[in-house]
Amino acid sequence: MKTLITNVDVFYDHALRPGELLFDDNQILAVGENLERDAQTRILDGGGLALLPGLVDTHVHLRDPGHTQKETIATGTAAAAAGGFTTIFAMPNVLPFPSTVEVMKEYLAHIEAESKIRVIPFATITVDEAGAKPVDYEAMKEIGITRFSDDGVGVQSNAVMDQAMKQAAQAGVLFSCHTEDMNYRKPGASVHEGQMAKANGWIGIPSECESEQLKRDLKLAAKHDLRYHADHISAKQSVDALHEAKANGARVSAEVTAHHLLLEENDVKGTNWKMNPPLRSHTDRMALIEGLENGDLDFIANDHAPHTAKEKARSMEQAPFGIVALETAFPLLYTEFVHNQKRWSLRQLIEWMAEKPAELFGLEKTGKIAPGYRPDFFLADLHADTVIDPETFLSMGKNTPFAGWPSVVCIDQTWSQGKRVFQR
């Protein structure tokens, strides 16, 4: 069935303009003003809202299977839809780990049965994320899996990572890497190694914990000509290393999270501000913002990491790392950088949250409102007066540092593959 949404401001050709959108279950058919319609076309009034491309997040923890007390595929994808996301990439630290073709096939079937939007799973880089043996990249590629990550841990062995990258490059697949050299992280560490850690008696994590292993990975990726992506960059040293690698022609990209763009070490008040990598200094945060603006960092991905309230009620040393992000990322970033500071345009934010992740992760006909593209989009009031309320989250996780933050964005509905998957 064809559907026509009228009375909206549509983001197309890099700008928000009055128009209409015509689509079916397969593709966007037309976008513009006064579009043709026939007697069979379903017509919906968009209520004067903004119609924006469905967002893409390449870094999401759905926790399912294995940790369903924290999140399920059903609740995680519902949360994604409520946040305007229509494509997400699921991190592989679930149980059993998707390290073999047999497990991955079961995982794919589980995703197909439970997800409300498009979910693309990562396989692990090493078997069971143990850092000892690379998985069979060629075998995974034969069933359509071309993206690999050991997220949550860095591959500690230089020799194993060298071998893994060599085999991955031969297979023509992508690595998306959490870089963390555990030689730099003391037991019980919870925040950035800075003045806030000292003042509170917390054990700190230095920037080198991230940047030194990143530098190793960048050298190995260049050596093997591997398509390499760096996860949740947090430190200025890492931005500098990426700048140098790109200048030397390496096939690398990198992401930054909303929370690392909005918060820094002095904002930390408790375990809902505890994430890995940690919130770092003001200098680091400014380097991340500038790195995103100048292309050293490529796009925004948010490391959605739900935990139970009981887990987050533990001490700073014992509570797990991570915060939820899917329902807050776009509203908070638009409010702060587009509306309040007027530092970014809506075009830039859409590029970093939809177009660039789709392009760099090889998603065809995704991330834009244009004829022939997937009918993935969301409608939002960009002039709302609301606040972030974790009790309204569709995610099982309520662990956010942004409770009570004001927002001018209210997402009204989200459509994935031509079907409405969320309505407020």
Give residue-wise pLDDT tens across range 152-198: 999 999 999 999 999 999 999 999 999 999 999 999 999 999 999 99
> What pLDDT was estimated at residue 286?
98
Task: Give residue 83's pLDDT band: very low, low, confident or very high (50, 70, 90).
Answer: very high
* CATH number 2.30.40.10 given to 3-50+374-423: yes
**Which CATH architecture is the domain 54-360 placed in?**
Alpha-Beta Barrel (3.20)
Q: Is 303 a catalytic residue?
A: yes
> What pLDDT was estimated at residue 166?
98
Task: Give residue 42's pLDDT band: very low, low, confident or very high (50, 70, 90).
Answer: very high
> What pLDDT was estimated at residue 157?
98
Distance, in Å, from the CA atom of 424 to the CA atom of 413, rounded to the nearest integer, reads 6
> What pLDDT was estimated at residue 8?
98
Arithmetic mean of pLDDT, 344-365: 98
Contact 278, 192 (CB under 8 A): yes
Catalytic one among 303, 376, 389, 412? 303
> What pLDDT was estimated at residue 138?
98
Contact 390, 111 (CB under 8 A): no
> What pLDDT was estimated at residue 54?
98
Query: What average pLDDT does the chain have?
Result: 98
Arithmetic mean of pLDDT, 12-26: 97
Q: Which two structure tokens, joined as six digits, stand for 308?
A: 């139970």
Task: Give residue 133's pLDDT band: very low, low, confident or very high (50, 70, 90).
Answer: very high
**Tens digit of pLDDT for each residue in 314-343?**
999 999 999 999 999 999 999 999 999 999
Domain assignments of the chain as residue spans, ordered by start: 3-50+374-423, 54-360
